[in-house]
Structure 1
């Protein structure tokens, strides 16, 4: 019986290089494997074929599932849409190390015993990037700053996107965080982003904004890192969302305790591999180094084949 892998993709996030190299890795690993890819903007006629049960469909962009896949057998990895709040709630319920968090409300009175000396107020609106929608204040100043906070997030709140109050974890003189992107639970890239300017939260006398984060300004330092602590936590996070093919997981290490926390998990994409929208990032990290760090295409191929084998041998799952 011929095994088949179907790869739907969005060309803004995935390039022909990604498809070609992933196909090569798949057929090198499993000769005779049939690999079919298509641009999600154009549903191909061949999807009407009678596919066998030995078929796996994996989107590379966390796309929504087209209705035509009602007629395609086998496991299908199309990410169900989850809000930032739902993703964070799942992390907390799983017992993973997440900074103390709670929804913002007009009568919120966060205690220093829970949040520590500093609080981050984070938007939950979809599509926000580069630390937009994040502010930080001293916990003891929160009550006095609440009118300003409510004004800043008024539009989000009106649209139903309630901000999250989250313990602010100090990471050193310059804010720094680490992102691990996973594919079917395995890491494909791990890198840090560090702000070029220092930030001293103890000196805050008002509401801080982008200067309190590592990712706000265009000028920032980014580098690949080999850090098993972050990678191990990323694997645990990915295990909570087995239906989501690609996750981008943001984490920090507390400069005082060295404990690693997961700030959030994002339903991500693989544009870091070769898509033009991530040219600057690859320039900073090194394009060939990004692909080599975890042997990205070989790792993706291995996970897809392992999923195929689980279909063929369900007793060995």
Structure 2
């Protein structure tokens, strides 16, 4: 029996309980694998005898302080919008066309359609629905900075914005999130804005001031398992096979039904079984406002884990990767 090591680097409290449970399941599946789960930023040292066995290291963030003496290290790290776009296109994955924004930029109607989203290039802002605007393409092509209020984010920081083709997901904006660990979907939810966006034949000033991002206001969550959504998320993993954790955001065109990938969220901060960022989702999944917040959060966490048997899936794929890749 070949002994192997699996080192799991996570983001610390409150992720620790999740990865201890997953580590235990890996050891049960394959007793020949020694699993070490530790915070990625912990300055730890493993004894020399540990490194006598083939090792695989999997880290859910870019920075990892443990000095790895052998074996591959697979880790997360943020990937910029345009690099993501190029990767998706190279692998035949549909994604809305996007370009760096500038006032007066020409926008091909065949590529950008009738409506264009303006969104910050900073993925931390777009994940919260901050500073996202919808414009008619024809108006945007003629837009000058002086046409906007002096305090408008687009006028203040135009260099921070990108122009992206608008995918109409319906009168209540929505998108899917699939949490991947390598090629395994761990959960899938559909997030829908409670506020109805204006009709697309509304005047410019109404459209441009509307909330059009599904994460831009009060919203509801529902677990879902659309086969085509899950398959597309697996395709995204295949484009980034060495990135352990991906939070894949997908939209469906309400007219054509076609799916498009918005982001792959490769930074590693999408482990919403326990993350602070995922607390809103967990609480809403766990009972909305009908029970105390702590109880709702706990119920929501169990719902996410239970949807596909997330921690069992995680253990299976980690044990498989360790056997395949440890060296």
User: What range describes the TM-score normalised by the shorter chain of this pair?
Assistant: 0.7 to 0.9
The 2-side partners of 1:179 and 1:127 are apart by 16
Shift of 1:143: 2.7
Other-structure match for 2:308: 294
**Which stretches in structure 2 are left out of the alignment for 5+ residues?**
286-299
Alignment of 1:166-245 (within 5 A): 166-199=164-197, 200-206=199-205, 208=208, 211-217=211-217, 219-245=218-244
- Superposed CA deviations along residues 222-245 of structure 1, whole A, max 9, x for unmatched, are 111010111111111111111211
Distance 1:280 1:287, change over 3 A: same
Contact 1:102–1:166 (CA under 8 A) maintained in structure 2: yes
Shift of 1:52: 3.6
The 1-side partners of 2:130 and 2:37 are apart by 35
Other-structure match for 1:23: 23
Other-structure match for 1:274: 274
Contact 1:53–1:74 (CA under 8 A) maintained in structure 2: no
Contact 2:178–2:249 (CA under 8 A) maintained in structure 1: yes
Other-structure match for 1:11: 12
The 2-side partners of 1:302 and 1:191 are apart by 22
Shift of 1:154: 5.7
Residue 125 (1) aligns with residue 139 (2): no
Other-structure match for 1:247: 246
Contact 2:20–2:37 (CA under 8 A) maintained in structure 1: no
Q: Secondary structure at the match of 1:179?
A: strand
Other-structure match for 2:292: none
Alignment of 1:38-49 (within 5 A): 38-46=38-46, 49=49
Distance 1:204 1:182, change over 3 A: farther
- Superposed CA deviations along residues 11-61 of structure 1, whole A, max 9, x for unmatched, are 25x4232022102211121124211111233221226555145211111x3
The 2-side partners of 1:277 and 1:17 are apart by 17
Distance 1:223 1:47, change over 3 A: farther
Distance 1:81 1:167, change over 3 A: closer
Residue 84 (1) aligns with residue 81 (2): yes
- Superposed CA deviations along residues 75-110 of structure 1, whole A, max 9, x for unmatched, are 211124422332222212322111232222344111
Contact 2:247–2:270 (CA under 8 A) maintained in structure 1: no
Distance 1:45 1:64, change over 3 A: closer
Other-structure match for 1:2: 3
**Which stretches in structure 1 are left out of the alignment for 5+ residues?**
none
Between 1:188-197 and 1:24-33, the stretch displaced more is 24-33
Normalising by structure 2, report the TM-score.
0.85
Shift of 1:210: 5.9
Between 1:91-100 and 1:257-266, the stretch displaced more is 91-100
Q: Secondary structure at the match of 2:256?
A: coil
Q: Provide the aligned C-alpha RMSD in A.
A: 2.5
Between 1:106-115 and 1:289-298, the stretch displaced more is 106-115
Shift of 1:294: 1.8
Alignment of 1:93-172 (within 5 A): 93-128=90-125, 129-147=127-145, 148=148, 152-153=153-154, 161=160, 163-172=161-170
Q: Secondary structure at the match of 1:203?
A: coil
Number of residue-to-residue matches in the alignment: 305
The 2-side partners of 1:305 and 1:85 are apart by 33
Other-structure match for 2:289: none
The 1-side partners of 2:120 and 2:30 are apart by 44
